[in-house]
Amino acid sequence: MSNHATRILVHWGTSDEVEDISRYVAGGYHPVKLGDILKSNTVHYRILHKLGRGSFATVWLARTLGDTYSSPDRLVALKICVADTNADHEIEVHSRLPPTEGQHVLPILHKFSLHGPNGTHVIIVYDVLGSITDTPDLIRKQARQICRQIVQGVAFLHNHGVTHGDIHTGNIGIRLPTLEKHSEDDILNYFGPPEISPILTRQPLPQADALPPYLTPSIPLACYFKERDALFAESSLQVEIIDLGSAQTVDEFPCLSCTPAAVCAPEIMFKRVALKTNGLATFASDIWSLACTLYEIVFGTRTFYSAFPNDSLLVDMARLCGEIPLEWSTYWESIPQLKCLNGTISQTTADVNWKSQLDYFERNQATGDNLAQFIELLRDMLKMDPVTRPSAVEVLRHPWFSAEDGSLRKDMAS
């Protein structure tokens, strides 16, 4: 991003609930305000509220106004990508996949480009989803079913030569099948007037329209459905994997991983910490991230809490797996804080730690799921050596999934 280092000084600071204002520069975010109408060749979209934001896009709830590719006047999600990202890549990855209905990977409905003050932005249109992080109680009640759907989605991607590269709970959405039964007024009134952060810069900017007039916090749409829609709250949830912006296909020139530290595989994390380089996302690194995601869904807590690459995260990984990989040894011996841990990391201590976790969760979990079997699955997936991790299809065949009902075999055969 050409002007990413530009410091924009404003009179009022912004909260962590909104995007970084410094990204509203050439090559960055497109400025959006509620009520804006964005136009493609065939459809007009009216912005109603914000659904989310990330490093490379903001996501908005919108209503179509005159639509030729689906039923007119419907609610959709618009992903407005930053101008300097290769957003066409995500679209190309989707084009490699066969129709994804029932495969738990969210398909694209429509795409178009928008020319704005910060550049040309690709806009991708999707169905509106809720976030699994907004309804943890509902998720926990259906944890095994939801975990199975996520694994099915990863298996679908891997079977078609696609590495996701960014699997975590923030990239898992919940289907909202009764969305169109709820009026725009009901949804917006439920959340009330947004607590916007007005933007008033301390000095004039070269291009004032590069900034929106205010920043808008996201709404937890799934919370509305949990409270206002008994059918949603009581039915079987359907989830979708989203955001293929970091995905790679097997025939592409490989790109470096952007997997968040808390779900990043150890072979990549070691390079970030010790070598100050990065690694490539692979099917095996997806399996590590997938295991961390399943752990969080079932137990309601994270496997690792570090948000940044550091020695402590390497220690946590080694303790979890019960080993220090041979390729880590030179670096490990060079750091006194790590070297002093030699002799304390072993399979025996890892077994004890996992048993302690199992005892804790069995005492405190309301679910009747076989947690011992689930932890066995996790330990298979969380292997230090990527070669020894199971494939996504092998994960699906684990007894923890098939124990729930007979639908797994039907799903795998379809």
Alpha-carbon span 41 to 22, nearest angstrom: 31
pLDDT tens-place string over residues 261-283 = 999 999 999 999 999 999 999 99
Q: What is the dihedral of CA 400, 405, 406, 412, to 10 degrees?
A: -50
pLDDT at 101: 74
Task: Name the nearest CA neighbour of 386 among 248, 242, 270, 261.
Answer: 270
Q: Is the pLDDT of residue 207 over 80?
A: no
- How deeply is 45 buried, as exposed, middle or buried, from its count of CB atoms within 10 A (0-12, 13-18, 19+)? buried
List of residues 6+ apart from 208 with CB closer than 8 A: none
Cα–Cα nearest to 47, from 19, 71, 79: 79
pLDDT over threshold 60, residue 31: yes
Q: Is 79 annotated as a binding residue?
A: yes
Give the tens place of pLDDT for each residue, 94-134: 999 998 777 999 999 999 999 999 999 999 999 999 999 99
Q: What angle do CA 371, 372, 374 make, to 5 degrees?
A: 60
Contact 154, 241 (CB under 8 A): yes
Q: Is 37 exposed, middle or buried (0-12, 13-18, 19+ CB in 10 A)?
A: exposed
Least confident of 140-149, 207-216, 225-234, 365-374: 365-374
Overall average pLDDT of the 34-55 stretch = 94
Q: In this predicted model, what pLDDT tens digit does every residue of 6-17 receive, in sequence order?
A: 566 665 666 678
Once rounded to an integer, what is the mean pLDDT over residues 209-233?
94
For residue 330, pLDDT beyond 60: yes
pLDDT of residue 398 exceeding 80: yes
State the chain's mean pLDDT as an integer. Answer: 90
* pLDDT score recorded for residue 20: 87
Residues written for the chain: 414
pLDDT at 185 over 70: yes
- As a whole number, mean pLDDT of residues 361-388 equals 89
Confidence of residue 363 (pLDDT cuts 50, 70, 90): confident
- Give pLDDT tens digits for 150-162: 999 999 999 999 9
Distances (CA, A) of 287 to 158, 245, 399: 10, 18, 17
2 in Cβ contact with 190 (< 8 Å): no
Q: Which residue did the predictor score with more confidence, 113 or 256?
A: 113
Decide if pLDDT at 73 tops 90: no
Task: Indicate if the pLDDT at residue 316 is higher than 80.
Answer: yes
Residue 48: pLDDT above 90?
Answer: yes
Bigger pLDDT: 100 vs 88: 88
**What pLDDT is stored for residue 366 in this prediction?**
52
Q: What is the pLDDT of residue 379?
A: 98
User: At residue 413, does pLDDT exceed 60?
Assistant: no
pLDDT band at 202 (very low <50, low <70, confident <90, very high): confident
Is residue 221 within 8 Å of residue 176, measured between CB atoms? yes
Q: Assess whether pLDDT exceeds 80 at residue 204.
A: no
Mean pLDDT over residues 309-332, rounded? 97
> For residues 68 and 170, what is the distance between their CA atoms, to the nearest angstrom?
31
pLDDT at 22: 85
> What confidence score (pLDDT) does residue 7 get?
63
Beta carbons within 8 Å of 205's beta carbon, 6+ residues apart: 8, 211
pLDDT band at 4 (very low <50, low <70, confident <90, very high): very low
